[in-house]
Amino acid sequence: MSGEGKVVCVTGASGYIASWLVKFLLLRGYTVHAALRSPDEASKTKHLRELEGAKERLHLFKADLLEEGSFDAAIFGCHAVFHTASPVIFNFHDPQTDVLDPAIKGTLNVLTSCSKAPSVTRVILTSSIAAVVHSERPRSSHVVVDETWFSDPDFCKKKMKWYALSKTLAEEAAWRFAKENNIDLISINPGVVLSPMLQPTLNESVAIIAKLINGTLCFSHIFLASCFDTHIETRKTWNMIGANATFDWVDIKDVAIAHILALEVPSAQGRYCLVDTVAHMSQIVEMLRQLYPSLTLPNKCADDKPLEPTYKISKEKSQGLGIEYTPTKVSLRETLENLKAKGFISL
């Protein structure tokens, strides 16, 4: 096991991506320091404590993104740190307080703790494709987006894309801090993540599919403006109508493995975009129809405008890291089966 004898920290360890990361780290022999806001809440940590190897090599630590120094104990003595903790919420009252501050200040608090721990050799930041694609640069079927693209904060503010802004500014702050403090930093930038959930609660990305199946997916103006690049505003539900939107999709297991490879591959550096496919929601609906012909799904978009264009995300760098992508259709099937097993949908 490649991680045997090594200690790593995972922030926000009970989250969707982080839970799979903890699972794979334990399976590879690592000892994991899980930094959590509420480690004593059994309902939020049960799925972690039941993982193979958790009894022997999983240790829970209390830490808060907005509390300076609260990550010191969890990071002390660690070989590497995976910073996954950041708000992924699209319905909120105050974007500064609810989204931007936890993302940006939280990242800097974690990196400050890393700078005080001489044992830390590398930090892997969970960023997002949202920190890559949101700018005035045109996207079309002929465009290939790669790691050299950066989202424009002014564009994000103008379009009220608060989640994209939070990930963009947090990543920018991380790169500045890492350069100033000689930290070996790597950024993982996944798209919309699918496939089974380990945690008991429904997370935002998988909720897109659950609500689509249940006929209750309603993209409010605040959701669309804060997350995805689309121009519709509708309060109609998806059992009647579908959204004209294009998303970037990737499997949760591929994302977790990419984080670990970013640590274990000595030559890994910079940013890594992680997207299997860029697909319009109409294409996702068609995949679901093929998988489950009996489902009642939308037949048209919410407007009569041309379909939002698809584009390409380069896989060259991530595949060079060792990633073999799970087809989105497979991810969708696993997502639906998991949602059914957890009681979120009926098939």
Active site residues: 167
Contact between residue 275 and residue 249 where contact means Cβ atoms under 8 Å apart? yes
Place of tokens 């830390």: 120
Rounded to 5 degrees, what are φ and ψ at 165? Answer: -65, -45
**How far is it, in rounded angstroms, from Cα 12 to Cα 263?**
18
Angle at 164 between CA 159 and CA 170, to 5 degrees: 130
Rounded to 5 degrees, what are φ and ψ at 279? Answer: -135, 135
**Dmax of the chain from CA atoms?**
58
What is the torsion angle, in degrees rounded to the nearest 10, for the CA atoms of residue 208, residue 20, residue 150 and residue 230? 0
Tell me how far apart the terminal alpha carbons of the chain are, to the nearest angstrom.
Answer: 39
**How far is it, in rounded angstroms, from Cα 20 to Cα 23?**
5
How many other β-carbons are positioned within 10 Å of the β-carbon of residue 226?
Answer: 24
Residues 6+ apart with CB under 8 A from 212: 238, 284, 285, 288, 297, 298
Pairing of β 185-190 and β 312-313: unpaired
Which value, in Å, is the radius of gyration of the alpha carbons in the chain? 19
**How far is it, in rounded angstroms, from Cα 116 to Cα 69?**
10
